[in-house]
Every structure is written in C-alpha cells, then in structure tokens.
A = this chain, B = another copy of it.
Amino acid sequence: MITRMSELFVRTLREDPADAEVPSHRWLVRAGYIRRAAPGIYTWLPLGIRVLRNVERIVREEMDAIGAQEVSFPALLPREPYEATGRWTEYGPNLFRLKDRKGGDYLLGPTHEEMFTLAVKDLYSSYKDLPLSLYQIQTKYRDEARPRAGLLRGREFVMKDSYSFDIDDAGLQKSYDLHRSAYVKIFNRLGLEYVIVAAMSGAMGGSASEEFLAVAENGEDTFVRSPGGYAANVEAVRTHAPEPLPIEGAPAAHVEDTPDTPTIETLVAVANQRVPRDDRPWQAADTLKNVVLMVTGVDGTRTPLVIGIPGDREVDLKRLAAQLEPAEAEPFTDADFERYPALVKGYIGPQVLGSESESGIRYLVDPRVTAGTRWVTGANESGRHVFDLVAGRDFTPDGTIEAAEVRAGDPAPDGSGPLQLARGIEMGHIFQLGRKYAEALGLKVLDSNGKLVTVTMGSYGVGVSRAVAAVAEATSDDKGLAWPRELAPFQVHVVAAGKDETILLAAADLARRLDDAGISVLLDDRKASPGVKFADAEIMGMPTVVVVGKSLAEGTIEVRDRTTGQRDNVAVDEVFERLLATVRGTDAAA
C-alpha cells in the first residue's frame, strides 16, 4: 500500500520545540515522528511507530535466534514480589506507585526481575528444565527526576528485557555470552557506533555487568577507553591503586598553623610559604581533602560520611551515587556541622574519623590513599593543618570508595595505558545477576542428585524506544533525520515536484511499481511547491528520495541519497531497476 503525503498524519515544524536540547529530540518532533504528551511521555505518530517497530523487529529476531522465548508481563504489578526483594522501597521516588479501588498497592514496572523469577518458579522444578531465557518487549515506567532529551530519558518507554535461568555459574556465563553476542548483532544492525564497557550493576544487584553505549556527544554516560582495550562506564572505573609504601622511616606527623586555608588552593599557597618543601613546591595532589556528606538510607536514616580524596580531584557525584545507591548523599549543611562538633569545617582531618574513632563517623578514602602514603590534611582545628600524616600509621580509614573524578590520562586499572574519556548513550545492559532474586523469591530446582539448589540468573536490557533516538542522534544532520535503511519508515520517498499532470502520473506510476515490488514508498502527492516538498523530505529522512520533476521532459528522474547527499540523474526507463538495486543493497553506484 502506497502512503500518500496528502493523507499521512504528519506535519513538519519550522521551529525547534522549546524543550529540545539534543538533535534527536529536535528532529523527531519537527519531522512529525513523536509528540510530547507529558514530561518524559511521548506519543508515536505514524512515521515514528514505523521506526519503533523496525527496532522491535531487529531485537526480536536476534533474541529468537539465541533461543530466547518471548512472553509478556503486565506493566501494572502488585507490590508483594517487589516487597520481597526490597525494591518496593529501594527504588525510592523513581517508582510510580498507585492504589487500586480496594486500597491494594501496585506499581508500574520499571524492570521485571521479580515477575520472571516467580513465573519460572511457578512452571519449572528441575535442572532438566534449564537453561532458559525469556524476553519481552514492553512498555516500562520510571519516574525520572529530570526526564530529558525526548526519548533518550523518558518516564514511559519501550524496553526489551530478558532474563536467563541456569543451574550453575558456568551456565550463567554461557547465557550471558549468548546475550552478549545477540546484542553485538542488534547494535550492528541498528548501525550504531557503540562500545562495550564494564558497568556498575546498580539497584539490580549482581556482579559482572557490561553496558553497550552508543558513542554520542550528547550522551548522559561518560565512559573511558585505553589504548590497550580497557573500557568502562566512568561509574565503574576502578582506580589504579599505587603499591603501598614503607611506613618505617617516614617523618613524624606535625601540625602547622595555616591560617585562612579552608580551600585546597589557599592551603597549597600557605604551605609553600610557611612550610616549604626542599625538593619541590607543595601541590594539590599532596593534600588529602575530606569531603563530608549526609547519606539518607532507604529506611530514612541519615548518617554522615566523610570521603578522603587527593586534593587535586573533585568528587564525581555520579560515581559517588552509583556507589551509594539505593542510599542518597547530600552536602553537609551548617545545621549538620553543629550536630557533629568533631567536624571542623574546612579543616577536617582523618585523625577524628572512622568507625573506630571517638566520633564513629564513617570514613572512606580514594584507592590512591594506600598504606604509607603521606598527606597534608586538616588538623581538626580552625586554621591548622597536619603534615606528613601517614596512612596506615596515623589513621586507618574504614575502606575505599570510587568517588573521585576520572581524568583523561589517568592510568587504566589493568595497566593498558592512559584513559581517554568520551560520552555515550546507554543502549543495552547485560548483568550476571546471580542468585539475589532467586533467593529472595525461593526459586529452586532439583539438581541431578535430587538436591534443591537455587537458580542463578542473568538480566539483559535493550532500550528500544531509546534506540530510535540514539540512531536519530547519530545520523541526523543540519537538515533533519537521515535513517539507515533497516530503520527507515519508508525505503523510498517519491516527490512529485511540479503541478503537471505528467509529473503527477509519472510519480504515482513509479510509486506503484515500487509498491508492487514490495518496497515501502512514501509518495508526496500534495499540492505544495517543490521547495516545501524537498525540505520535508530532508527533515523526514527517508534514505532514498526520488524527484520526479522538470527533468522528466528530458527523460530523467533525480535520485537522491539522503545520507551522502549524492544526486544522480537517472534515465526514466532505468530508474525502477536502479531503485530496486539501491534498496536491496546491490547497487554498485551507491
């Protein structure tokens, strides 16, 4: 069936939507693919839903190919299973919660580990039933604090989520590898430039996990890469910890007056002036900055936490949040300082910190603060700092934490060279969940010895609606969208450029022949000027645009490649074959 622009439910917009921050959002709205219904909640118009279905098809085919079976769970879910795993609470304000007419608690599913676990528990009972992989392509909900960038971070969105069930760790590794290979195929077919990076597992729990990030300037995720092949989401970067140094022989710690030095910058200046080093000037990296935070647990308890990091670095709030979640950290307020007199604002030092100390305040340090390292840090008195304070001798932190910013040039933790930083959009996430959910919900099967064992699980997601935006982000240019062939709503956009009956008939005839050949066609048959039609074709972004216009009189039709911009005048009697070859990928000229 030929789709006619005169009938298609679409209007292109000349202006950018006011809330559009990124190209994909701007163009998807301007080209009439999506419309905002509420913050982070979008309507799919006819062009948009065709792209979404194409992504779904690719994902479905690749999931089927690894033997995963499609199911569909409800989006409206009862509280109980999520209560059993603790996620009813842990999700905090990100979860849409509601009550039914009888007062029963429900939620809108953000992800379905619990439900899949219970379904397998319901149906299966033996190791012979495993391995098993199930998936769904389904609408999910997350009450984001800051929905943004259109489909990139929405509150209602389409995801493919799948779950693997295995009897042992080796099985889980196999299921994980199978999913990884399927994801490689999916993202290759989507035509995305992507990286696979080590990831945090976050609120999901579990251990090994990797993310598939589409490389994108406007991505929300920062990742690192090394020349030797290390790649990780910045939240998951493990800091290269230097070897411990000998404590013996280190000078004794000494407190010095350092008036008016509440910041690292002022401290370094005063230290160089009043306590100069022989070998070189003091640097920010010689100081230990102690940042104090108030942490709110999911149960509402508020406890202080001090983080010690080298003075030349800032705390990276996203890295910190990933370490603490589901708890959340906020800056310490003046009122908080009053309640904890041990903490002298601007002059906090590790001597009064740690669970074993008098204050009992938890103290975690950057992994660079290894035993034997010497630091200039607060003396817990206003205007005074301590020098040559040695870790492992003069203070003992409660542990380490990955909260310091990662910088380009930092060494990769595996020794594979200096790190580069880049940004990406999280498109897929694969986890080895392990037994957390199976344990919480009692999913056990009989093993080959007739003994009940807990099943081990994997959890795997693809952002399906997000992929539409990610591809648009990667392929759009300053004129509009430009779809790769496998995602395009229509393969060919035939523009009747002129009001002559001959032109209209020739355009319609070509469209009909293409349609008969099974090629999806959009025919611009409107009574609009060629200029308007060309601009719309550029905004809407079908991969091949055919202009049936004035040159028809000279026996040619123009074929445009939306992505490369190439324009060819093709003889009228050759154009159909040429288009067939282009669409089917057998066009030597393309």
Contact = CB atoms under 8 A, between A and B. Distances in A.
A168 to B, nearest CB: 19
Interface string A215-243: 00000000000000000000000000000
B93 A71 contact: no
B76 A155 contact: yes
A106 to B, nearest CB: 7
A69 interface: yes
Most B-side CB within 10 Å, residue of A11, A49, A72, A75: A72
A77 B43 contact: no
A459 to B, nearest CB: 17
A82 interface: no
B78 A38 contact: yes
A9 B134 CA distance: 8
A72 B43 contact: yes
A96 B97 CA distance: 11
A145 B115 contact: no
A332 interface: no
Residue from the set A7, A143, A145 with the largest chain B CB neighbour count within 10 Å: A143
A389 interface: no
A447 interface: no
A108 interface: yes
A98 interface: yes
A69 B156 contact: no
B156 A67 contact: no
A15 interface: no
A539 to B, nearest CB: 15
Interface in A65-114: 67, 69-78, 93-94, 96-98, 100-101, 104, 106, 108
B96 A100 contact: yes
Contacts of A335: none
Given A7-B67, A75-B139, A101-B145, 7 more contacts: A9-B123, A37-B78, A38-B77, A46-B69, A98-B98, A98-B108, A100-B143
17 contacts: A7-B67, A9-B69, A11-B124, A37-B73, A38-B76, A43-B74, A43-B119, A44-B71, A44-B72, A46-B70, A46-B71, A49-B70, A52-B72, A76-B155, A96-B100, A98-B98, A139-B139
A-B complex: 5 closest residue pairs judged by Cβ atoms: A98-B98, A44-B72, A38-B78, A93-B101, A11-B123
Interface of A: 1, 7-11, 32, 35, 37-38, 41-46, 49, 52, 64, 67, 69-78, 93-94, 96-98, 100-101, 104, 106, 108, 115, 119, 122-124, 132, 134, 139, 141, 143, 145, 155-156
